[in-house]
Amino acid sequence: MYDPGGAMGDSPPGSLQPSGDDSTGSSWWDVVWFLLPILVFVILLVAMAFLAS
C-alpha cells in the first residue's frame, strides 16, 4: 500500500521547487508583484485628477 504521490505531500515545500535555474524568474515575478499595485494606484490617481479637472 505504498502511494508515491502521498510521500510528496509530506515533504517540505522547498524540496518540490526546481533547482537554481528558476531563481532569476522568481525574483523577476517578485518585482512585478511589488510594482503592479503601485502602478495601478498611480494610474487611478492620474485618472481621478484628469476626471476632476
> Phi and psi (nearest 5°) for 29?
-65, -35
Whole-angstrom distance, CA of residue 16 vs CA of residue 51? 49
Burial 15-35 (b: 16+ CB within 10 A, else e): eeeeeeeeeeeeeeeeeeeee
Going residue by residue through the chain, which has 53 residues, state the pLDDT in tens, using 9 for 90 and above: 555 555 555 555 555 555 555 566 778 888 999 999 999 999 999 999 999 98
Q: Which pLDDT score, from 0 to 100, does residue 43 have?
A: 98
